[in-house]
Structure 1
Amino acid sequence: MTSSHPFQRLLRYGRRYRRQVWLASLCSVFNKFFDLAPPVLIGLAVDVVVQQQDSWIASWGIASVRGQFLVLTALTIVTWGLESAFQYAYSVLWRNLAQTMQRDLRIEAYSHLQDMDLAYFEDHSTGGLMAVLNDDINQLERFLDVGANEVLQVITTIILVGGAFLFLAPSVAWMAIIPMPFIVWGAIAFQKLLAPRYATVRERVSALNSRLSNNLSGILTIKSFTAEGYEIERIREDSEAYRVSNQRAIAFSAAYIPLIRVLILLGFTATLVFGGLMAVEGELAVGTYSVLVFLTQRLLWPLTRLGDTLDQYQRAMASTNRVMDLLDLPITLHPGHQRLPVSNVKGAVRFEDVTFGYGDRRPVLQNLTLKIPAGHTVAIVGATGSGKSTLVKLLLRLYEVNAGRITLDGLDIRDLATQDLRQAIGLVSQDVFLFHGTVAENIAYGTFDASREAIIQAARTAEADEFIQQLPQGYDTIVGERGQKLSGGQRQRLAIARAILKNPPILVLDEATSAVDNETEAAIQRSLEHITQDRTTIAIAHRLSTIRNADRIYVMAQGQLVEWGTHEELIERDDLYAGLWRVQMGLKAG
């Protein structure tokens, strides 16, 4: 993380939008320039009425009063026209810039998240990350949409009006300008008070989003344990914490405008009274006095909006910090650069003296060496927690090994382009994830250019076509979020069809039949017999009956290999595997 101010971090990120920022800023400045012109035009009109042939416009060579008013009319039309044109321009430019930056920032933040290893997602809630990707980036967009223009226009007003005062009546200028240092000091003081309060607001909304996301994902558990009341209370507590944190911020931000109004009143009254006395005594032209009175109001009253702008600014800066902190997270899994096209992959995998542990916990794998010849089917079995699934995560480089190395066709997988490595591996997991979309879209996920015929053929090979045809819209049936409209066995068969369509040289089956009934298991086994031919297959299994025909079976215990051989060899050895086999056969027999 960096200690830079969030605004500096935002400026560094925004360098790529320099041209749009300059154009939008110029339009904001010119709009304010012409917006401040009407008080000057009013002063000129008063000057014409009072001075007539001796007015300032008369000095241009226009002696008649009628002609002078015609000139004023033309200037008014041009001024209002240009003000409107620049207002339209800055509105379009700032809003488009805000939308573009919002889109790019969200895509970049999401892309960065995708490059993080799985350990990061295990340590951070989905709801919290969603709050950053959605709410925080939207908050930044809202500030760029309106707040940036407000800041520029306030600065422009101060410069133009302050300059006009010093030029027209230096002796009166101080009366209007004297409140401004106090207003600026108040703005800075409020900023310091608001910053930590809005940081707390962002934390509270992140916690609330996390809770909501978690609960919606676990709605079945909530209902089955009749925990609705308990969860409502927890949502109420998080919502109350969010409300209270907002309330504390509002208490300070709401006090800004009333306090500023007092200072504005002093400046306006001083200009009105002392400037008026000077005009009566002839020390100040009546037209100039009119300009000063109107400009004082135009100078000071817009500062009341500075409170809202500061409010938006502080919210945006709190959000900016969270988004930039996400973008600044170091990527621990660096992709390799050596290309290995799928067509060139033979599928020989080797774990060489691999040691790995999750975070600070004790190693799950210790000095493990395991060889998987190309085109062979090997099975890995063992008790829960023995490290079986960890092997798959390491092979896919979802985590980095602590020691040792893993090779594919003799090449260290850390040197291979990550996309090439994962393209060569087809994973069928026990925890099948289906996206909200059609059956066909889920089968073709990862093979997005697949034809309809190829999708159907993959489903037939996976013995999924029959149940798909019975769905309401067949292959165009929406499966629901995470595939909730389908049974576990149906989801599993779609996952196998997805792997078949990918046609990888290495197939990994991670407990692919652990959560299905016997009939579905038999169907899956038949489809697997077809797809495991002529490719390297790694089957991690709990049901030993599903892997008895493997070329070699590895037995793991406490992160190490303790046995290996064919099914018959291991039964004859009468050790750990044989014991597991008897237990499972006994359960089935009983």
Structure 2
Amino acid sequence: MPTTSFQALGRLLRYARGYRRRIVAATICSIINKLFDIAPEILIGVAIDVVVNQEESFVAALGFASAREQILALGVLTFFIWAGESLFEYLYQVLWRNLAQRLQADLRQDAYEHVQRLDMSFFESRSSGQLVATMNDDVNQLERFLDGGANSMIQVGVTVVAVGAVFFVISPLIALLAFTPIPLIIWGAFYFQRKAGPLYNTVRERVGELSSRLSNNLSGIATIKSFTAESREAARLRRASEEYVEANRQAIRVSSAFIPVIRMAILAGFLATFTVGGLLALRGELNVGAYGVLVFLTQRLLWPLTGLAQVIDLFERAMASTRRILDLLGVPIRVKDESETPLAEPVRGEVTFEGVSFHYAETGGGVESIDLQVPAGHTLALVGATGSGKSTLIKLLLRFYDPDAGAVRIDGQAIDAISLESLRGAIGLVSQDVYLFEGTIRDNIAYARPEATRDEVVEAARTAEAWEFIRTLPLGLDTPVGERGVRLSGGQRQRLSLARALLKDSPILVLDEATSAVDNETEAAIQRSLSRISHDRTVIMIAHRLSTIVHADQIAVIHDGRVVERGTHARLLAVQGHYAQQWQVQTGQVDRSTVTKTPGREPGVSL
């Protein structure tokens, strides 16, 4: 088998070192079961020897004088051999299957927990469908191999060794003839595996692409319907499905060709034993019972090798999946949670950006030399064109990324010197893109504090002005919201998101364009909520509508990743810069179409 498959198996065994006792126990049971399994063929030959030679048989030398006693002894021995085979078959199946279940569950859990610790750039470069395929389908593929393939590989090896030993004891000449096809079989296994390995890697890639297509289409079903694109998307899915079928077809074509080659090799070995052994028995050079043992064991030796193709096929699929799983587990964690130091209590909520620079590797965008300070209990509004770097500052504050230069501090403590749990526990986030989990309204509000009482949940909903619509629902707080909150309106989802952040009761509240996609009523409700809660916490807002930030203690205008203006609403209007120009556009004081770009200005941009 190719080095890559051995490497994948080695990596898997290193990962599974905590399961070594289970693996050893399962392997021992597989070995003992196979030894019991090949014993009846030997007993058949011994029985033939008893019938032919009677008092001069091999069994007679063990102290059983009459042929009757010998047959009865063989009968009792056969019973115990069959009972032992059944017992150890039960044991190895229980051990291998439980190992498969435990290992696949732990692999999936470890992969998921590792993915949760990766920085946001990883998720921006990978589709969720690909990740789901790796953590689900690939893990299941490995489970299928451990369920049956591992035992089959072990038992094939045991058969070759045990039967080979019997052959060489009885007749070295026939042993050599019977074993002649085995090198061809092994070469064929290596050859076809080398051909099939890359093909199964392609199969796993096609599975990921198909899962990604399904996931994206189901998430965007409303858009598909609105553009009457059902037929177009069905055709795209059909193409992805056909590519998966074609990848499998090529792999199956190669792996299926292995069986006919092996069958002919087996036929050669069997004919050699059958004819040469028969001639030796006729000449009296080989005991008739021994000849029977060799004939039966030849089939027992060679026939299981026909299943080697299926075992290798299963193994290669499993190793392709293993590489993907372990590669995912091997993705480096760039934002490392190495500190156990919490934020000093009580957390006041002062936020400082000191010379912060950061650039995205893919686009080169980001922020450059940002210096901002938000005193505890104050409100900072960030405005600027799309892509100017506003959301990047929020991501840096939450440590979704680490800055290339400079430092972000809370209450004077550098955020990379405190634990992520303490950092993110001090910040409540309300995003423009609200994500609600499938469950009830209560589940989603209490997501911030699962132990919160009903009264606390209701109070958070009241403060966010969400209680008015919640109480009109037939099930109230127990109303299911559907996947991603599809049963609620955009404004209702946004109010629940704010209630969730308020229940968290963090000293720092971040609103990332939380009112840009809601109606005027929801915007007014959110503004009323903010006016009630902002006096005792730090608020950082990314604003789309400038009317929502006129009362902010400080407004910072971000342009091309830099702070170009800073001050209160009144001061920024007075300086007649970027902010004033956009204010005039939004309030209708200037016709947007008449605004022209001048040096040092960013006219007509959407803030």
**What TM-score results when the alignment is normalised by the length of structure 2?**
0.94
1:490 and 2:484 equivalent? Answer: no
Contact persistence 1:355–1:363 (CA under 8 A)? no
Distance 1:514 1:80, change over 3 A: same
1:352 partner SS: strand
Counterpart AA for 2:181? P
Distance 2:371 2:196 in 1: 57
Q: 1:463-502 counterparts in 2 under 5 A?
A: 463-502=465-504
The equivalent residue for 2:287 is 285
2:425 to 414, 418, 423: 423
The equivalent residue for 2:156 is 154
2:180 to 178, 181, 186: 178
Distance 1:537 1:342 in 2: 19
Distance 2:465 2:308 in 1: 66
Counterpart AA for 1:35? D
Give the alignment's Cα RMSD to 1 decimal.
1.8
2:535 partner SS: coil
Distance 2:237 2:7 in 1: 33
Distance 2:515 2:583 in 1: 17
Q: 1:411-560 counterparts in 2 under 5 A?
A: 411-560=413-562
1:334 and 2:333 equivalent? Answer: no
Distance 2:481 2:452 in 1: 19
Contact persistence 1:109–1:327 (CA under 8 A)? yes
Counterpart AA for 2:62? W
Counterpart AA for 1:522? A
Using the TM superposition, give the Cα deviation of residue 290 of structure 1 relative to its aligned residue in structure 2, in angstroms. 0.9
Contact persistence 1:342–1:504 (CA under 8 A)? no
Task: Give a deviation string over 1:160-180, Cα, whole Å, max 9, x none.
Answer: 000000011222211211111
1:50 and 2:85 equivalent? Answer: no
Distance 1:275 1:458, change over 3 A: same
Contact persistence 1:342–1:424 (CA under 8 A)? no
Using the TM superposition, give the Cα deviation of residue 341 of structure 1 relative to its aligned residue in structure 2, in angstroms. 4.6
Distance 2:590 2:136 in 1: 50
1:410 to 393, 409, 412: 412
1:25 and 2:24 equivalent? Answer: no
Distance 1:153 1:546 in 2: 73
The equivalent residue for 1:577 is 579
Q: 1:102-251 counterparts in 2 under 5 A?
A: 102-251=104-253
Between 567-576 and 399-408, the greater mean CA deviation after superposition: 567-576
Counterpart AA for 2:407? R
The equivalent residue for 2:315 is 313
Counterpart AA for 1:5? Q
Distance 1:126 1:338 in 2: 31
1:5 partner SS: helix
Distance 2:415 2:589 in 1: 41
Distance 1:177 1:336 in 2: 58
2:416 partner SS: coil
| Structure 1: gaps spanning 5 or more residues | none
Task: Give a deviation string over 1:199-239, Cα, whole Å, max 9, x none.
Answer: 11111111111111111111122111222222122112111
Contact persistence 1:342–1:505 (CA under 8 A)? no
Distance 2:457 2:409 in 1: 32
Using the TM superposition, give the Cα deviation of residue 110 of structure 1 relative to its aligned residue in structure 2, in angstroms. 1.2
Counterpart AA for 1:177? F
Task: Give a deviation string over 1:172-192, Cα, whole Å, max 9, x none.
Answer: 211211111111111111111
Distance 1:501 1:588, change over 3 A: farther
The equivalent residue for 1:563 is 565
Distance 2:556 2:518 in 1: 23
Between 289-298 and 458-467, the greater mean CA deviation after superposition: 458-467
Contact persistence 2:163–2:297 (CA under 8 A)? yes
Using the TM superposition, give the Cα deviation of residue 394 of structure 1 relative to its aligned residue in structure 2, in angstroms. 0.8
Contact persistence 2:134–2:321 (CA under 8 A)? yes
Distance 2:353 2:8 in 1: 45
2:386 partner SS: coil
Between 571-580 and 167-176, the greater mean CA deviation after superposition: 571-580
Distance 2:388 2:100 in 1: 51
2:144 partner SS: helix
Distance 1:299 1:448 in 2: 61
Distance 1:519 1:589, change over 3 A: farther
Task: Give a deviation string over 1:277-320, Cα, whole Å, max 9, x none.
Answer: 11122111111111111100000000000010010011111111
Distance 1:589 1:583 in 2: 6
The equivalent residue for 2:605 is none
Percent identity reads: 56
Distance 1:338 1:83 in 2: 55
The equivalent residue for 2:604 is none
| Structure 2: gaps spanning 5 or more residues | 593-607
Counterpart AA for 2:165? G
The equivalent residue for 2:98 is 96
Q: 1:274-423 counterparts in 2 under 5 A?
A: 274-341=276-343, 343-423=345-425
Distance 1:467 1:352 in 2: 43
Distance 2:356 2:363 in 1: 16
Counterpart AA for 2:495? R
Contact persistence 1:198–1:318 (CA under 8 A)? yes
Q: 1:38-77 counterparts in 2 under 5 A?
A: 38-77=40-79
Using the TM superposition, give the Cα deviation of residue 343 of structure 1 relative to its aligned residue in structure 2, in angstroms. 4.3
Between 13-22 and 378-387, the greater mean CA deviation after superposition: 378-387
2:480 partner SS: coil
1:366 partner SS: strand
Using the TM superposition, give the Cα deviation of residue 516 of structure 1 relative to its aligned residue in structure 2, in angstroms. 1.1
Distance 1:570 1:341 in 2: 34
Contact persistence 2:343–2:418 (CA under 8 A)? no
Counterpart AA for 1:331? I
Distance 2:576 2:449 in 1: 45
Using the TM superposition, give the Cα deviation of residue 86 of structure 1 relative to its aligned residue in structure 2, in angstroms. 0.4
Distance 1:429 1:183, change over 3 A: same
Distance 1:194 1:124 in 2: 27
1:414 partner SS: helix
Using the TM superposition, give the Cα deviation of residue 120 of structure 1 relative to its aligned residue in structure 2, in angstroms. 1.2
Using the TM superposition, give the Cα deviation of residue 543 of structure 1 relative to its aligned residue in structure 2, in angstroms. 1.3
Using the TM superposition, give the Cα deviation of residue 349 of structure 1 relative to its aligned residue in structure 2, in angstroms. 0.7
Distance 1:547 1:470 in 2: 31
Contact persistence 1:342–1:423 (CA under 8 A)? no
Distance 1:470 1:33 in 2: 72
Distance 1:206 1:514 in 2: 35
Using the TM superposition, give the Cα deviation of residue 589 of structure 1 relative to its aligned residue in structure 2, in angstroms. 13
Contact persistence 1:28–1:90 (CA under 8 A)? yes
Counterpart AA for 2:177? M
Between 157-166 and 341-350, the greater mean CA deviation after superposition: 341-350
Between 316-325 and 60-69, the greater mean CA deviation after superposition: 60-69
Between 133-142 and 224-233, the greater mean CA deviation after superposition: 224-233
1:330 partner SS: coil
Using the TM superposition, give the Cα deviation of residue 361 of structure 1 relative to its aligned residue in structure 2, in angstroms. 2.8
Between 215-224 and 477-486, the greater mean CA deviation after superposition: 215-224
1:188 partner SS: helix
Task: Give a deviation string over 1:111-132, Cα, whole Å, max 9, x none.
Answer: 1111111111111111111111
Between 194-203 and 357-366, the greater mean CA deviation after superposition: 357-366
Tell me the matched-pair count: 589
Distance 1:252 1:589, change over 3 A: closer
Distance 1:569 1:545 in 2: 15
Contact persistence 1:350–1:372 (CA under 8 A)? yes
2:370 partner SS: strand
Contact persistence 2:337–2:419 (CA under 8 A)? yes
Distance 2:117 2:141 in 1: 25
